[in-house]
Amino acid sequence: MNFAFSEEQEELRRAVRRFLEDKSPETEVRRLMETESGSDPAVWKQMGEQLGLQGLAVPEEYGGSGYGYVELVVVFEEMGRALLCAPYFSTVALAANLLLAAGDEAARKAYLPGLASGAQIGTVALAEASGRWDEAGVTLEATEAGDGTWALTGEKRYVTDGHLADLVLVVARSGAGVSVFAVERGAAGFESVPVPTMDQTRKQATLTFSATPARLVGEDGQGWAAVSSMLDKAVVALAAEQVGGAQRVLEMAVEYAKARVQFGRPIGSFQAIKHKCADMLLEVESAKSAAYYAGWAAAEDNDELPVVASLAKSYCSEAYFHAAADNIQIHGGIGFTWEHPAHLYFKRAKSSELLFGDPTYHRELLAQRIGL
């Protein structure tokens, strides 16, 4: 079995990297992270119309290109490397994946073409005040309002790009159990408030619903299976992002170790720095193996996906955080300054480590899934 990327996939990587080097340099990342929206609509439009990135893994019958999850792993890895400020993760890894998993053909036809073209931004609202990412943490109330419509009442927290989303897929609890509901921007009783985040390159919002009209997606009470499938694929995408960021900070550390001279020689010649860089390389390469294998499992949608998704999330989270922290240490005093980009990767590493559950949570989930 060959897990190497094909030439077509490598060309995709090169094209995305060139685009991000042009559209998401450090100066642009710093500019956008200071804005409330945290995104450039012109770049988002180019991503959809010129590169077709939003619809890359969406089936052709819903307006996408019909590629697989391996291609998405390549794209997410490059975006993590560049710290792209755009609602790509929320639209593609969350909203589109949940629509595909929910099995509601009418909802797919209604919402996926807009997401795939970039005309609409989507996200998923799951976590609440408890901060839990599991089924038991869903308490937001859904009541049937008649004529096939529903009303949602409650609050969702930590919603990625919730302040930008045209479509919010809300995970709520009806009398029959956990279900998924679609709420469109401008709906009555719906309010979105951006919240401060440690990682300013990935915006979050708190969403409140006051008898907000919503459309049921999938079957009433049968929503958690789709949400669980979406979470597995989302953490694979996040692991790919983490790998991209970890590779970049490793490169930054090695470049600095070669250039910085102390006592008449590059600091990279000192044993302590050599060992730290070697440890970083080992962790980053191991993280790549985990993320790539999880990407393959997601592309094949095979039985291993739940296990390898949690494995990749736990390992890649720690590898990225360690690499980002060691990068600061190798840079010394300058690495702690606001002017140096090291802190941007460190903050993204920490926030990504906690998103959808920390490594301890995913190791416990992994143990449960393999029957320990």
Please check the confidence at residue 223 and state whether its pLDDT lies above 90: yes
By DSSP bridging, strand 167-174 and strand 149-160 are unpaired
More confident residue, 332 or 77: 77
| Residue that is last in its domain, among 223, 240, 270 | 223
Range(s) of the domain holding residue 177: 122-223
Tell me the pLDDT band of 155, cut-offs 50, 70 and 90.
Answer: very high
Q: Within a domain: residue 297?
A: yes
Between the alpha carbon of residue 228 and those of residues 70, 101, 133, 211, the distances in Å are: 20, 9, 10, 26
The neighbour count for residue 60, using CB atoms within 10 Å, is 11
Q: Within a domain: residue 236?
A: yes
CATH code: domain of residue 305:
1.20.140.10
CATH code: domain of residue 180:
2.40.110.10
Say whether both 201 and 266 belong to one domain.
no
Q: Within a domain: residue 204?
A: yes
| Residue that is last in its domain, among 190, 223, 256 | 223
Tell me the pLDDT band of 134, cut-offs 50, 70 and 90.
Answer: very high
| Residue that is last in its domain, among 171, 188, 223 | 223
Say whether both 262 and 333 belong to one domain.
yes
Q: Within a domain: residue 96?
A: no
Q: Within a domain: residue 250?
A: yes
Number of domains in the chain: 3
Q: CB-based contacts of 155: which residues, under 8 Å, 6+ apart?
A: 128, 129, 140, 206, 207, 208, 209
Q: Within a domain: residue 94?
A: no
Say whether both 49 and 139 belong to one domain.
no
Q: What is the pLDDT of residues 18-75, one digit of tens each?
A: 999 999 999 999 999 999 999 999 999 999 999 999 999 999 999 999 899 999 999 9
Q: Within a domain: residue 2?
A: no
Tell me the pLDDT band of 256, cut-offs 50, 70 and 90.
Answer: confident
Q: What is the pTM of this model?
A: 0.95
d(CA 72, CA 93): 9
Q: CB-based contacts of 229: which residues, under 8 Å, 6+ apart?
A: 97, 101
Say whether both 349 and 260 belong to one domain.
yes
